[in-house]
Amino acid sequence: MALKEVMAALASKTADELTYTDVSDAYIYYLRIDFDPVGIKYCFDETEIPQYKINAKAKARLTYCQYLAMARGGHKALFMEPGQLLCENAEPVFGFRDLDKEKDTQRHMKYLRDEELAWKATLEKAKLPKGRCKGIYVAPLALYDAAGLDPDIVFFMPYPYQAYHILNDYMGAMGKSSLLFNHTPNSAVCSGSVWAYNHNTANLTTMCAGSKTSGKTDMAMLNLFIPGQQIKPTAAQLIKRVAETGGPSVLGKGGEPWPGLDVCKGCPLFKYEAV
């Protein structure tokens, strides 16, 4: 289907009518995101596991960041059991183990250089209840349609300019005029996603040491999390805005093609009329 036809089809749908494939297409076509949006689902009921449509299985233990990297960049749908997680900092975030004061404090000393503060940082990270989470399903968002599932969190790895547009549309859809985020010395992706889940709001984090290396976060990219039940209204806001203004960019008067006419306001050199 031609791009113009795809866009027309999306514009004809309400938020409730959008599929997860539609949502993914909207961000790929309009905001030119480099990686697929990834749906994250925390499994609290083992009877749900057979519903998860997987197309790959890790042959060795991996970090949470690596699972997400495979989903966003490799189109892999995977289920991570607690025993398959290769990250000590993520284990207590997902409730896979209790905190160990001595060891967890030492893991944070390289960041904060103060034992009391390092221990406090581990205590204050967002966490799932101990023992409740039976595993985590991660897959490109579009694959959730075939599975008949709804993600708990949708994860983007955008550039700042893309994140800016995603969050503006999120605020428009959710009726919020500003947003607050949660930064921790590490656990940017694991705690960052759980914080968004626990607080039912968008979250934005920089890379951390683990997401830079294991998660392959490019130095210019960010980690962005949108609660699953809020992603369709957010995408619908993007689609509506494009339909009403003519384009996805909010530069200048808005409505420009992506990324928009990048000129100084009032520049006398950029005066033109359509012919």
| pLDDT recorded at residue 200 | 98
Angle at which helices 228-245 and 160-174 pack, to 10 degrees?
100
| pLDDT recorded at residue 1 | 54
pLDDT tier, 263 (very low <50, low <70, confident <90, very high otherwise): confident
Helices (H), the chain: 3-11, 20-31, 64-74, 90-93, 101-112, 115-124, 144-147, 160-174, 190-199, 209-213, 228-245
Residues 6+ apart with CB under 8 A from 14: 236
Averaged pLDDT, 203-221: 93
Residues 6+ apart with CB under 8 A from 85: 61, 62, 63, 64, 91, 94, 96
Is a pLDDT exceeding 60 seen at residue 206?
yes
| pLDDT recorded at residue 275 | 83
| pLDDT recorded at residue 190 | 98
In the predicted model, what is the mean pLDDT of the chain? 94
| pLDDT recorded at residue 243 | 92
Is a pLDDT exceeding 90 seen at residue 59?
yes
| pLDDT recorded at residue 92 | 97
| pLDDT recorded at residue 2 | 59
For residues 120 and 178, give the distance between their C-alpha atoms in angstroms, rounded to a whole number.
Answer: 28
For the stretch 6-36, pLDDT in tens is: 777 888 899 989 999 999 999 999 999 999 9
| pLDDT recorded at residue 5 | 75
For the stretch 128-165, pLDDT in tens is: 999 999 999 999 999 999 999 999 999 999 999 999 99
Assigned token pair, 209? 């040491």
Identify which of 72, 74, 87, 197 has the alpha carbon closest to the alpha carbon of residue 141.
72
